[in-house]
């Protein structure tokens, strides 16, 4: 079920961009706007601008832009409805659900909400068990032995499942939860051969709650504390409507803010590794929970940082078995480093052994890029074995081939060359072999298409493409003037928008988003509304909002000192809007005519090749010459010297 428009409008009306952004990054006033280092990418000089007057933000470094709702969506990694709920909670706005939904949509929403409710109930149930006699003696004792204090127990919603068949099931049923939802949430099981016999999935185990990005419980991991070899050490929630193991990283909810701030994510294997690192003062850490890293998990990290440091237990055999994960991370476009702990240690045991400060120092001093790590791992055993040396080179080259950024790849080729004692050309040759093998079919297919295409037809493509790009820039400039100054007067009774639209009435923008904004503008005028920039910022279309923000924001503001102190007056485009707009119209028309002339030349060439009727040829030449004359007239008005 969605959120009612009334609630959404209340949130839009109440949410203040300065207050919302200040929850995440400190803002400093400079000129009319507020500035900060961008929370979405790593930078030393502030390029993230917040405009309280326009209620928008814009980063001139990475391009992120939007209103308070979009900011929450970007920084929390959530959808529109979750962002509305987040802001409604911040401003104490009561949420009304949208009742105009299809029965299917309502049913699906209700089921998901029921799952979240029962999983939250289970989380609380397991947490309360730690205060019971059995929970204190077994569960709480285990956590205390590992150095987990009460704060971290509550922070990660740790708990205990009592040793018995029906403790949880009986409590959940007694509090009104249905068998159907309990089964769908993976909290209970049906006995094989007797579907009426229902019992708890988690029994006699400590519980680790798994949260989604928004902090809601979506599943559980449970560790046995006895030495029963017939039982697995860990059991986990099954796949459900709200829990997909391959899409989740343990600790991501608690880590996301720190990952963004530190611009790095530590990746470990288990639940206790994550918690012990938090106790050591390191919060930018997540776990793959003992499973092989997936593409979805890598994308999840990339939402918050482009840098990842993989922490490996001090077990050489285990490290080599998990190296495939590094290649996947590289392929996902992240920068990878690695840290290996002393033999027999893992992040959890080592953090408890040496203490917080020494643990932090160890991470900092032993972090190495993936090439140094990979070569160092095999260097000793390959030292006197040519076959193993060759295998190491191939393995390194395989990893290099996964790096999508050519500049970063070139840097690592140089480093690999130095560490392996090989010429760069040899490594590049091996890389080329991999690329050729992987792209062989596409290569020959493209080659055939090129061979079968007449040479003349290939020539206009690059030129036409550049014309389209230039036309797009001119369309953007005209739209910028329309959005920023459309409501201004160029004479006593003529607004900029009417003048501009009247002069370009026959033109349609080639760029879809620009055409969309133009149509919204015209629709507003048809409804007797003269739109100002803020009109577009209230539009539901996020693409429109983002583009309008790009059109109305500027990175630099001219200091008022030039005029007030030094009496130096600069020309502003708004000083003579009539000329500014007129020139923009002429430039746009010129680009459109240029594009039409190129299309006309192609048609003339077609007529020549196909030996068409002379009248058709003359007609096409006539069109071209007429367009050329228009171009000459525009050049004269723009004061451009024409040469033939």
Domain-embedded: residue 52: yes
pLDDT digits (tens, 9 = 90+) for 499-523: 777 766 666 777 888 888 888 888 8
Asked if 132 and 53 sit in the same domain, the reply is no
* Range of lowest pLDDT (195-209, 243-257, 270-284, 485-499): 485-499
CA angle 400/401/407 to nearest 5° reads 70
* Range of lowest pLDDT (86-90, 157-161, 420-424, 578-582): 578-582
Kindly tell me the sign of the dihedral angle through the C-alpha atoms of 270, 275, 280, 285. positive
Backbone phi, psi, residue 608, to 5°: -65, -45
pLDDT at 303 over 70: yes
Q: Which residues of 375-394 are buried (b: 16+ CB within 10 A; e: fewer)?
A: bebbeeebeeeeeebeebbe
Asked if 434 and 508 sit in the same domain, the reply is no
Asked if 499 and 551 sit in the same domain, the reply is yes
Asked if 523 and 461 sit in the same domain, the reply is yes
* Range of lowest pLDDT (203-207, 337-341, 375-379): 375-379
Residues of the chain above pLDDT 70, percent: 81
Region 336-354: mean pLDDT is 88
Tokens for 300?
């999840």
pLDDT of residue 462: 40
* Range of lowest pLDDT (97-106, 156-165, 339-348, 570-579): 570-579
Domain-embedded: residue 273: no
pLDDT of residue 395: 84
Asked if 433 and 503 sit in the same domain, the reply is no
Region 127-136: mean pLDDT is 94
How many domains does the chain fold into? 4
Region 90-102: mean pLDDT is 77
Domain-embedded: residue 66: yes
Residues of the chain above pLDDT 90, percent: 22
Among candidate residues 40, 64, 90, the one where a domain is terminated: 90
Q: How confident is the model at residue 145 (pLDDT cuts 50, 70, 90)?
A: very high
Query: What's 50's domain CATH number?
Result: 3.90.580.10
pLDDT of residue 137: 94
pLDDT at 183 over 60: yes
Asked if 412 and 500 sit in the same domain, the reply is no
Residues 65 and 550: their CA atoms lie apart, in Å, by 8
CA angle 447/451/454 to nearest 5° reads 140
Whether the CB-CB separation of 209 and 152 falls below 8 Å is answered with no
Asked if 167 and 235 sit in the same domain, the reply is yes
Residues 397 and 427: their CA atoms lie apart, in Å, by 7
CA angle 411/360/353 to nearest 5° reads 130
- First-last CA distance in the chain: 66
Among candidate residues 90, 123, 155, the one where a domain is terminated: 90
Tokens for 230?
């017939």
Query: Which of 215-229, 444-458, 521-535 shows the highest mean pLDDT?
Result: 215-229
pLDDT of residue 560: 47
Q: What is the layout of strands, in order, in the sheet containing 65-66?
A: 28-30, 33-36, 48-51, 56-59, 65-66
pLDDT at 278 over 90: yes
pLDDT at 567 over 50: no
Region 492-499: mean pLDDT is 75
Asked if 610 and 547 sit in the same domain, the reply is yes
**Host domain of residue 77:** 5-90
Q: Which residues of 598-626 are buried (b: 16+ CB within 10 A; e: fewer)?
A: bbbebbbeebeeeeeeeeeeeebeebbee
pLDDT digits (tens, 9 = 90+) for 51-79: 887 888 988 888 888 889 989 888 877 77
Region 3-21: mean pLDDT is 86
pLDDT of residue 566: 44
pLDDT of residue 461: 40
Asked if 471 and 612 sit in the same domain, the reply is yes
Domain-embedded: residue 361: no
Q: Whole-number mean pLDDT of the chain?
A: 81
Better pLDDT: 24 or 170? 170
pLDDT at 463 over 50: no
Asked if 112 and 35 sit in the same domain, the reply is no
Region 475-495: mean pLDDT is 76
pLDDT digits (tens, 9 = 90+) for 229-269: 788 999 999 999 889 898 899 999 899 888 888 889 999 98
Asked if 506 and 591 sit in the same domain, the reply is yes
* Range of lowest pLDDT (77-86, 419-428, 535-544, 567-576): 567-576
Whether the CB-CB separation of 224 and 258 falls below 8 Å is answered with no
Residues 272 and 249: their CA atoms lie apart, in Å, by 14
Domain-embedded: residue 362: no
Domain-embedded: residue 301: no
Asked if 423 and 474 sit in the same domain, the reply is no
pLDDT digits (tens, 9 = 90+) for 351-404: 888 888 999 999 989 998 888 888 877 776 777 778 888 888 888 888 888 888
pLDDT of residue 445: 52
Q: How confident is the model at residue 622 (pLDDT cuts 50, 70, 90)?
A: confident
């Amino acid at each position: 079920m969605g959120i009612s428009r009334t609630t959404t409008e209340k949130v839009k009306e109440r949410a203040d961009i300065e207050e919302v952004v200040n929850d995440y990054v400190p803002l400093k006033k400079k000129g009319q706007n507020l500035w900060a280092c961008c929370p979405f990418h790593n930078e030393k000089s502030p390029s993230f601008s917040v405009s309280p007057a326009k209620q928008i933000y814009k980063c001139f470094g990475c391009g992120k832009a939007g209103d308070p709702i979009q900011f929450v969506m970007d920084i929390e990694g959530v959808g529109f409805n979750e962002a509305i709920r987040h802001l409604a909670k911040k401003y104490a706005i009561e949420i009304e659900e949208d009742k105009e939904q299809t029965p299917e949509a309502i049913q699906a929403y209700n089921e998901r909400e029921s799952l979240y409710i029962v999983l939250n109930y289970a989380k609380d149930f397991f947490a309360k068990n730690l205060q019971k006699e059995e929970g204190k003696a077994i569960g709480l004792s285990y956590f205390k032995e590992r150095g987990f204090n009460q704060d971290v127990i509550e922070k990660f919603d740790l708990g205990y499942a009592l040793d018995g068949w029906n403790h949880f099931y009986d409590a959940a049923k007694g509090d009104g939860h249905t068998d159907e939802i309990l089964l769908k949430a993976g909290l209970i099981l049906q006995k094989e051969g007797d579907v009426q016999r229902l019992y708890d999935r988690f029994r006699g185990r400590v519980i680790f709650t798994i949260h989604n990005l928004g902090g809601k419980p979506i599943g559980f991991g449970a560790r046995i504390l006895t030495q029963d070899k017939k039982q697995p050490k860990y059991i986990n929630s099954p796949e459900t409507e709200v829990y997909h193991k391959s899409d989740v990283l343990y600790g991501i909810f608690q880590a996301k803010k720190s990952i963004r701030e530190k611009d790095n994510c530590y990746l470990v294997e288990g639940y206790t590794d994550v918690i012990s690192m938090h106790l050591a003062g390191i919060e930018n850490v997540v776990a793959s929970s003992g499973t092989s890293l997936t593409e979805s998990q890598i994308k999840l990290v990339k939402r918050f940082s482009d840098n990842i440091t993989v922490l490996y237990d001090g077990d050489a055999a285990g490290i080599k078995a998990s190296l495939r994960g590094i290649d996947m991370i590289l392929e996902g476009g992240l920068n990878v480093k690695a840290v290996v702990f002393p033999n027999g240690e893992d992040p959890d045991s080592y953090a408890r052994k040496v203490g917080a400060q020494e643990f932090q120092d160890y991470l900092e001093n032993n972090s190495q890029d993936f090439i140094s790590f990979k070569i160092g791992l095999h260097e000793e055993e390959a030292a006197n074995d040519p076959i193993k040396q060759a295998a190491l080179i191939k393995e390194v080259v395989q990893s290099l081939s996964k790096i999508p950024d050519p500049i970063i790849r070139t840097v690592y080729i140089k480093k690999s060359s130095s560490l392996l004692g090989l010429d760069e050309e040899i490594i590049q040759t091996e890389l080329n072999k991999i690329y050729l093998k992987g792209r062989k079919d596409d290569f020959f297919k493209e080659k055939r298409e090129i061979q079968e295409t007449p040479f003349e037809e290939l020539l206009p493509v690059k030129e036409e493409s550049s014309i389209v790009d230039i036309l797009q820039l001119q369309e953007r400039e005209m739209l910028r003037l329309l959005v920023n100054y459309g409501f201004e007067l160029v004479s006593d009774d003529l607004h900029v928008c009417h003048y501009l639209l009247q002069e370009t009435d026959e033109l349609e923008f080639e760029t879809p988003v620009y055409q969309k904004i133009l149509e919204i503008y015209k629709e507003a005028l048809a409804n007797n509304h003269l739109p100002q920039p803020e009109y577009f910022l209230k539009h539901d279309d996020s693409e429109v909002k983002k583009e309008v923000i790009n059109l109305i924001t500027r990175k630099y503001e001219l200091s008022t000192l030039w005029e007030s102190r030094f009496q130096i007056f600069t020309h502003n485009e708004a000083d003579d809007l009539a000329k500014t707009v007129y020139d923009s119209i002429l430039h746009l028309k010129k680009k459109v005519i240029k594009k039409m002339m190129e299309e006309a030349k192609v048609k003339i060439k077609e007529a020549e090749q196909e030996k068409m009727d002379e009248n058709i040829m003359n007609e096409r030449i006539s069109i071209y010459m007429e367009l050329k004359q228009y171009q000459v007239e525009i050049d004269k008005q723009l004061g451009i010297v024409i040469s033939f």
